[in-house]
Amino acid sequence: MVLTGCSRQEPQAEPIIGLLTDFGLRDPYVAEVKGVIYSVHPRARVVDLLHQVDPFEVWQAAYVVEEATREFPRGSIFVTVVDPGVGTERAPILLETRSGKFFFAPDNGILSLVVDREGMRRAWKLDQQAFYRAGISSRTFHGRDIFGPGAAHLAAGVDPEKLGSRIQKVESLNLTPAGVLGQSFLGQVIYIDHFGNVITNIPRDLSSRLQEGILLRISIGDQTIRAPLVGTYAEVPSGKLGALFNSSNYLEFVMNKNSAARQLKVSEGTRVLVKP
């Protein structure tokens, strides 16, 4: 089934609909979103990406959405809901990236890193109520009432232009771009994983000076520490802090079998200054 308006040349026979939320697994919310998708499009291919983003943490969600959707093919559709402002003036949107993927999301910055990596081809405000959930819609559950049905209609072949009105830009988080500041490298904590690894937005290719084996001087939060830049987690001595470039080539601060985040007492959004 070809999606009208999609930029890919070889569309998926039936587009994947990936769900990523902070709904958790003990409540009925994920099932309700799936139910409305299947009610609209019974042949939909729905996959769970993650439902355990920390509640309301848009910063965390922005990183997880960007990472979790990287390897999916063109034409994939994602429902990405971490939405503390649900029902307010923030808009429900659909965004198509330049790589031909579609994201249904609240316009609260959750797609910031996706746009940084893949670019924005087109975007719409989801204001066409004919494509909402049938019946009375809620102001508190747009995942079920707007995003889920919209994704199902899109997967079933509805032209995205029919789902809403074109918009020219989407909201972005207040993210400090990684850069060079004199002899140092400036960035920001963008994610803390469940191992306690502190992931920054400083990429490997920012400078050839960031090579394994050097000792880094790291200013983060209200503290300054020294840590070696290593190649693997096991190279960090037990109980000590280290730094490495992770599988996505972002600089992260780690402890071997322990939590660097707990040791450093930092959170998403904390500024980082690194000097070799």
Give the model confidence (pLDDT) of 109-134 as tens digits: 999 999 999 999 999 999 999 999 99
In a domain, 10, yes or no: no
Give the model confidence (pLDDT) of 158-177 as tens digits: 999 999 999 999 999 988 88
Asked if the model's pLDDT at residue 191 lies above 70, the reply is: yes
Asked if the model's pLDDT at residue 265 lies above 50, the reply is: yes
Asked if the model's pLDDT at residue 10 lies above 70, the reply is: no
Longest dimension (CA), the chain: 61
In a domain, 9, yes or no: no
Domain count, the chain: 2
pLDDT of residue 11: 58
pTM above 0.75, yes or no: yes
What domain range is 30 assigned to? 16-166
Backbone angles phi, psi at 133, to 5 degrees: -60, 140
CATH number at residue 127: 3.40.50.10790
Residues 162 and 190 in one domain: no
pLDDT band at 137, cuts 50/70/90? confident
Residues 158 and 223 in one domain: no
pLDDT band at 222, cuts 50/70/90? confident
Q: What is the mean pLDDT of residues 243-252?
A: 95
Residues 118 and 211 in one domain: no
- Whose CA is closest to 219, among 151, 154, 266, 163? 266
In a domain, 235, yes or no: yes
